């Protein structure tokens, strides 16, 4: 294992990443050089979609509004094993079948990496359904307002803003500048963790569409005055989304981790979008240009920034994972913190042995105080202080503790420093080769760095070692 870990370095990491931020001109037809073509738009029978959604089972509902909403979105699987999102409208939503088909075909002609593309529809009797690409990694609202592990990283928030602006610019260039109900629930994340704009909002309002938006905070003043929607109205809604990305309704401002300069740039852009007079707002192309200049960590894939498992390796789970292993797989740093806290120093022979033989010198007392303060900060989730204290303990050189390396490793991860975290996890293994925790933490670091194959192998090693220890 030690030999395998020696190859992980910052240079290796950067040399194997591809730029994830594309220019707007590369978005159509899958991007420049993209071999994966989207299926052409087609019509489905009601029976096909019933089969795909298991009879429109409530278990397959993915819409945030629930089963009683007028329009419900289901997850479905077609005959060719392709996952899709199926939107089933209220029976009175589109009384004119011809209008529905024309709208669906127009939206279905769009193809972009920034959209969750429409690939089909169904129009039988009173039934009106749309079929789109399925996005497996939740909505922006989920990640921004209801995060369970860690708040969304600043670099990812900037990327969401750019990709959304690129989606709007692409739609405008194709004559579909109007987007209804633009909000955080309309932005979805694909297999690669990239944000996509739902195509459903591109459909013109049907008869039951009583308002421009379900949330007045997103509704432009001109709609409230006249009931009319313009491309500038969409830019207004985009401005409210920028404000959400900056703060997040349920996220303390301290969790944003952005510089004053970055923050002010987005505030200025949002204020331009939210101008009372529609003509004073920027267009989509201007938004793209402004947001391109503020992007961070453009070379890092979205799934890494999002902490989303990626690739075929992550979808297979041949191991029976322990709670620690499950937490590593999910990159659930909060759960790992709880595990390390409960574990304490019971597997750490280094400190006990050293204390038995060392004299109580002033240097020794100072070193132990650094560890004590580090443990207090670690328990209080003050990870920056924990890093400082544990570093003083380690640099003292009096005692070698794999547990301290493990705790500093997690503290580094909590501070978005996966490379330093990986080095500590590897050092913990050097000190204690038969300690599964060191391998589990290495796996977590590798998942954070997007190195899926190596992470899976290391997770397997840790799981096997823990199983072996439990038998002894």
Three-class secondary structure of residue 29 per DSSP:
coil
What are the structure tokens assigned to 362, written together?
A: 């002033």
The CA-atom distances, in angstroms, between 76 and each of 52, 115, 184, 226, 316 are: 5, 19, 23, 39, 21
Active-site residue, selected from the candidate residues 126, 181, 190, 424: 181
Q: Which of 77, 88, 185, 65 has the alpha carbon at shortest distance from 133?
A: 77
Neighbours of 252 (CB within 10 A): 9
How far apart CA 82 and CA 23 sit, in angstroms, is 28
Number of helical (H) and strand (E) elements in the chain, helices listed first:
21, 8
Q: Strand order in 118-124's β-sheet? A: 42-43, 118-124, 127-133, 83-88, 72-77
Q: What's the full length of the chain, in residues?
A: 472
Give yes or no: 181 in active site: yes
Instruction: Please count the other Cβ atoms lying within 10 Å of the Cβ belonging to residue 59.
Output: 8
Sign for the pseudo-dihedral over CA of 95, 99, 102, 108: negative
Residue in 41, 75, 8, 2 with CA at minimum distance from that of residue 445: 8
Q: Which residues are catalytic?
A: 181
């Amino acid at each position: 294992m030690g030999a395998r870990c020696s190859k992980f370095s910052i240079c290796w990491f950067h040399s194997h990443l591809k730029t994830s931020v594309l220019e707007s001109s590369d978005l159509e037809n899958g991007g420049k050089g993209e071999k994966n073509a989207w299926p052409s738009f087609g019509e489905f029978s009601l029976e096909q979609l019933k089969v795909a959604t298991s009879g429109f089972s409530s278990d397959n509902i993915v819409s945030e509004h629930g089963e009683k909403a007028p329009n419900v979105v289901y997850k479905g699987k077609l005959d060719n094993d392709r996952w899709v999102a199926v939107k089933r409208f209220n029976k009175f939503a589109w009384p004119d079948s011809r209008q529905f088909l024309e709208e669906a075909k127009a939206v279905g002609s769009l193809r972009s990496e920034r959209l969750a593309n429409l690939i089909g529809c169904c129009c039988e009797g009173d039934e009106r359904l749309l079929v789109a690409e399925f996005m497996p990694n939740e909505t922006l609202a989920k990640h921004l307002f209801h995060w369970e592990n860690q708040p969304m990283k600043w670099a990812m928030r900037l990327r969401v803003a750019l990709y959304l602006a690129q989606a709007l610019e692409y739609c405008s260039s194709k004559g579909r500048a109007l987007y209804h109900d633009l909000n955080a629930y309309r932005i979805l994340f694909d297999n690669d963790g990239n944000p996509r704009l739902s195509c459903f909002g591109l459909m013109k309002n049907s008869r039951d569409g009583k308002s421009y938006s379900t949330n007045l905070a997103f509704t432009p003043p001109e709609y409230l005055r006249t009931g009319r929607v313009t491309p500038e109205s969409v830019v207004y809604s985009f401005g409210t989304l920028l404000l959400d990305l900056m703060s997040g309704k349920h996220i303390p401002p301290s969790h944003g981790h952005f510089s004053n300069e970055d923050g002010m740039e987005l505030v200025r852009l949002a204020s331009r979008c939210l101008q009372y007079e529609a003509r004073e707002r920027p267009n989509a192309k201007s938004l793209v240009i402004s947001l391109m200049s503020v992007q961070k960590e453009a070379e890092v894939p979205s799934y890494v920034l999002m902490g989303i498992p990626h690739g075929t390796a992550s979808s297979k789970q041949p191991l029976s994972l322990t709670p620690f292993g499950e937490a590593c797989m999910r990159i659930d740093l909060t759960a790992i913190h709880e595990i390390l806290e409960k574990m304490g120093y019971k597997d750490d022979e280094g400190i006990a042995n050293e204390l038995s033989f060392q004299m109580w010198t002033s240097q020794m007392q100072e070193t132990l105080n650094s560890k004590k303060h580090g443990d207090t900060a670690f328990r209080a989730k003050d990870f920056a202080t924990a890093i400082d204290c544990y570093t003083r303990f380690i640099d003292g050189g009096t005692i070698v503790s794999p547990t301290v390396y493990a705790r500093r490793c997690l503290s580094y991860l909590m501070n978005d420093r996966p490379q330093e975290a990986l080095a500590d996890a590897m050092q913990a293994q050097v000190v204690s080769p038969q300690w599964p925790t060191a391998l589990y933490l290495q796996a977590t670091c590798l998942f954070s760095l997007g190195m899926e194959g190596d992470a899976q192998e290391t997770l397997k090693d840790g799981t096997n070692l823990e199983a072996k220890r439990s038998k002894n």
